[in-house]
Amino acid sequence: MSRLNRYAVLASTLMLPLMAQAHPGHETHATLMQGLLHPLTGWDHLFVLLSLGALAAGRGPGMAMTCGALLAAALSGGAMIGLTWPTASFVEPAILVTVFGCVLLLALRRHISRGGLAALCIAFALVHGVAHGQEAPGGDLVAYFAGFTFSGAIIYAAGVMLMQRLLWRMSPAAARGE
């Protein structure tokens, strides 16, 4: 296992207790600001979005853009599903699976195909979107959903940029996806 893999697994493992804790932001009236802040208040959101951004960036700029667009669409679509299916009991265990899945993906990042990564981006974002829809407080849901989708895209982009910077230090050709 490379040094980068060991650090990724170690950091992920150390953050697991934090990820399991519930985060605030579900008890108030839905606003754009609530939506923007929501992904920033949960370790599960931060970890999964940063991880997916880093994984996609490792496959080149085109894959990073593709996965980013798929992620935003899946978050929004999942939120609609969550609104119409508020009693789906699979969501919280599925979120935990997405966190552990990202730990594994980071450790095994060289062994996943582009199509597999795109499919997992969709699946993971869909699960988190369903949770957002289920937990959405009453109020301006359009603004709330727009806020968390935008904020999620920014966190994902931060993961892309962090990986690009790391790759650039290792090899400028790798940073360009060559």
pLDDT of residue 21 exceeding 50, the answer is: no
123-138 pLDDT, tens digit per residue, is 999 999 999 898 888 8
Read off the pLDDT band of 27 (50, 70, 90): low
Instruction: Report yes or no on 17 lying in a domain.
Output: no
3-state class (DSSP) for residue 87: coil
Read off the pLDDT band of 119 (50, 70, 90): very high
pLDDT at 17: 45
pLDDT of residue 53 exceeding 50, the answer is: yes
Percent of the chain with pLDDT over 70: 80
Helix and strand counts by DSSP (H, E) for the chain: 8, 0
Strand partners, 30: 139
Q: Which residues have C-beta within 8 Å of that of residue 19, sequence separation ≥ 6?
A: 43, 44, 47, 99
Question: What tokens does 84 get?
Answer: 């119409």
Instruction: Report the greatest alpha carbon distance in the chain.
Output: 49
- Long-range pairs for 84-90: beta carbons < 8 A, 24 or more residues apart: 84/133, 85/130, 85/134, 86/133, 86/134, 88/130, 88/134
57-79 mean pLDDT: 94
pLDDT of residue 14 exceeding 70, the answer is: no
Give the count of domains, the chain: 1
Average pLDDT, the chain: 85
pLDDT at 12: 59
Instruction: Report yes or no on 24 lying in a domain.
Output: no
CA distances from 158 to 26, 38, 46, 53, 152 (A): 25, 16, 10, 7, 10
Q: Between residues 165 and 70, which one has the greater pLDDT?
A: 70
CA distances from 23 to 15, 70, 73 (A): 14, 25, 24
Instruction: Report yes or no on 22 lying in a domain.
Output: no
CA dihedral 110, 113, 115, 119 (to 10 degrees): -60
What's the domain range around 167? 3-12+30-175
Q: Which residues have C-beta within 8 Å of that of residue 60, sequence separation ≥ 6?
A: 176, 177, 178
Q: Which residues have C-beta within 8 Å of that of residue 159, sequence separation ≥ 6?
A: 49, 50, 51, 52, 53, 54, 55, 56, 57
Q: Which residues have C-beta within 8 Å of that of residue 172, sequence separation ≥ 6?
A: none
Instruction: Report yes or no on 21 lying in a domain.
Output: no
3-state class (DSSP) for residue 139: strand
